[in-house]
Structure 1
């Protein structure tokens, strides 16, 4: 337990006056060289000591007093430091005490009337609880695990397509798969697609270990351009040999995700190579309504970009690892369509949960949650009682305020409301992030449903390749489930305590 000066000052003054006076100067130097120095505490301690020991008859050091008119700047400056004024009846000009100080008489009310004191002036601002640190997977570790997951999923899909009955005594092959039917250029194309982000992560980790920080921005740009050229060149080389073997219709299957990418991200190359290339957003507690709405708009756009990345990377991973092998299968090949479709769905769901736990963790959701508390929310005014004023964009409204906007009446349902009553974006933002534990609980329920479904299929599966595919995919889903359970439990406890504090710090009555 740390001890600040506000706690140690009264302790030294009241309980250790003799020790401070008798010990060596080392303790005084230690006090003078403390982290926070307050010059007024010495004066306060000296005056308190004079008043507390009136029976000790010893000469006191003369106090240099300067006559200052009442209400001057110097007098106000002394009062700001927190010094205690000494009555004139206690100390004479020689510095000796005349007698025991009498009880202070009640102050006579002056002619000037004191203004009314209000405990609460305006809406109650929300109070935030520091969110605890939750360890997250680094970029390199996350990309490595995702690459292994998609690579294993690709191998399992090829196993579903080209499996053999190698265990039979009269089988013509002793291998579990017909490898000669698999196109090596198609495999190289798929591996290049799923390896692109891991390649950049490895390159950035190497650059950070060998370069100084001031050279990293230029090195990062150069590394992105170089890796983008390598990936596109390798894909073009593989696509050239694929065109020579397959009809042109199947080539469009390889390029179909590019159309989705340009629709979602345009011509920006960073989402193709990196999952999260920017710094995490930060929250600024502001009382300006326009700044609050601007921050909410920034966080909303960042959340939408993260959702686009989750959807695109999950679809691309499942598309190239599980769907493309089925598209390029030989026409004479017979395979179980139900098992292949099941594999594709499980891979896509597993990638969605992995990317969601990485990009929408509890630590990230706490930032838009704080902004949502400042934003507040309006509800429809069904009572129709009380005064209704026109909504002003430069004002923060307390709970219960009634405003009119767009020919409708609204009432504030939050302690502080800076949102636009007619904006559905603000209403949705507050609904999602007012309690992020509900969002994390929804993600956790979907992950639990996925695992339960896989376990049910695991116990009901008869074919060995389906059994093997479900067992291997369950490992990565268990790890994602652990991360989601941890984030939900921490967020639930933190926001439960925060709600209790918000309830205790509600609007206070006005004192007259």
Structure 2
């Protein structure tokens, strides 16, 4: 009644306040389970303990995460993919040389009767660049052809002999081309050829082990032992990053979800390093190295040369990205992100809402507020088991919460390149521009499909 005496005060809770969280059932056993059930709930009148004797796990039911099945999309094998990449890079290298060494042979007083000044092209540099661009194709051929053979036949021996001859030929040609380049060029130009090696150590560090990787792989591939072949019957050998697609473990145990997220984060970062490094190497040797070995007396269309470098880099990035990040792999990352969840730090405005003490063995529902390291965090995912203050988990959830985010980014980059090339093809009429853009568009259409 108006003016009457109010009764004793009691805590005021929000009508939309979420119920208490649940704990993982296999972590609740023992002394730790009772400690988790007595987690404090904070409101504006101070911390109070849960007075009910009902276990916390019976107070709320979290909606389970549903994983719709995606169709099994076909992807190119390693050999087919590497062959298509080599075809694109050799085409782009040829077009870069066309733009650098083009002539005006149709003019009456032209000093050249050919479309290009072939005598100015360094053949040793072309051999070296070709060997660098085909290194992955050769390595895939050596590793994968007849890798599952269980018996020694005449064809098997011939294939192994061909692999050995191919490796020897690549090594001999590499040494010979480097030696001839050293004889005919300045040391400064040769330093440009070593820049990708510096980039490799910046990305990967001193992590290469020749005794356990290259030499061992060559030896086991060319001369496999009988016991190795016998073991491969029982345990298939994982040879490529694309085949090593981690299967999602649909679990509700917070510790296992975080461990799976850590493994997937490391694997995704490794794949992105491969994508960035290989696309950089392609753009560097196809577009930049021919410019470095250009004679000082020659004219260079610098704008178009730089544009070619950009086209090759973006197209190579999309090709390697779609190969190392197939749809099935992106779906695995997406499923893990749904179980991991995300936290958003809040500063004020939730004084009337219950606030729980964060526990690493609890699956937190959406909308709940927790206290973690003197900060207040709000659960944003359907299920939330990530560390509230860990930014890597938040980035993981942001990138892969939408299953098509990464693939849409690759598709958007490829469409942007195609649109720009179509515009340049319409705007320019020089013969070298028309040939270059037409062939690049043909390759980009194949990559887009």
Give the TM-score, by structure 1 length. 0.65
SS state at 2:62 partner: coil
Which residue does the alignment assign to 2:105? 166
Which residue does the alignment assign to 2:320? 355
Alignment of 1:17-416 (within 5 A): 121-208=60-147, 210-211=149-150, 231=170, 234-266=173-205, 267-268=207-208, 276=241, 279-381=244-346, 382-384=348-350, 385-416=352-383
One of 411, 424, 428 as aligned partner of 1:457: 424
**How many residue pairs end up in the alignment?**
359
Q: How many Å apart are 1:278 and its aligned residue?
A: 5.4
CA contact (8 A) 1:125 1:374 kept: no
One of 416, 440, 445 as aligned partner of 1:478: 445
SS state at 2:147 partner: helix
Which residue does the alignment assign to 2:32? none
When Rg is computed on C-alpha atoms for both structures, the one with the higher figure is: 1
Q: How many Å apart are 1:170 and its aligned residue?
A: 4.7
Distance 1:225 1:313 in 2: 25
Q: How many Å apart are 1:224 and its aligned residue?
A: 10
Q: How many Å apart are 1:211 and its aligned residue?
A: 4.7
Specify every segment of 5 or more residues in structure 2 that has no aligned partner in the other structure, as ranges: 1-53, 153-160, 218-238
Distance 2:116 2:445 in 1: 28
Deviations 1:210-234 (A, max 9, x none): 4569xxxxxxxx9999987765554
Q: How many Å apart are 1:443 and its aligned residue?
A: 2.5
Q: How many Å apart are 1:171 and its aligned residue?
A: 3.9
CA contact (8 A) 1:200 1:223 kept: no
Q: CA RMSD in A?
A: 2.9
CA contact (8 A) 1:164 1:175 kept: yes
Q: Which deviates the most, 336-345 or 432-441?
A: 432-441
Q: How many Å apart are 1:184 and its aligned residue?
A: 1.2
Classify 1:149/1:231 alpha carbon distance in 2 versus 1 (closer, same or farther; 3 Å). Answer: same
SS state at 2:376 partner: strand
Q: Which deviates the most, 386-395 or 241-250?
A: 386-395
Distance 2:168 2:197 in 1: 16
CA contact (8 A) 2:142 2:163 kept: no
Give the TM-score, by structure 2 length. 0.74
Q: Which deviates the most, 166-175 or 143-152?
A: 166-175
Q: How many Å apart are 1:174 and its aligned residue?
A: 3.1
Which residue does the alignment assign to 2:230? none
Q: How many Å apart are 1:475 and its aligned residue?
A: 1.2
CA contact (8 A) 1:419 1:426 kept: yes
Which residue does the alignment assign to 2:435? 468
Q: How many Å apart are 1:172 and its aligned residue?
A: 4.3
Q: How many Å apart are 1:124 and its aligned residue?
A: 2.2
CA contact (8 A) 2:314 2:413 kept: no
Classify 1:378/1:228 alpha carbon distance in 2 versus 1 (closer, same or farther; 3 Å). Answer: farther
CA contact (8 A) 1:357 1:480 kept: no
Specify every segment of 5 or more residues in structure 1 that has no aligned partner in the other structure, as ranges: 1-114, 214-221, 483-512
CA contact (8 A) 2:242 2:324 kept: no
CA contact (8 A) 1:126 1:373 kept: yes
Distance 1:293 1:321 in 2: 42
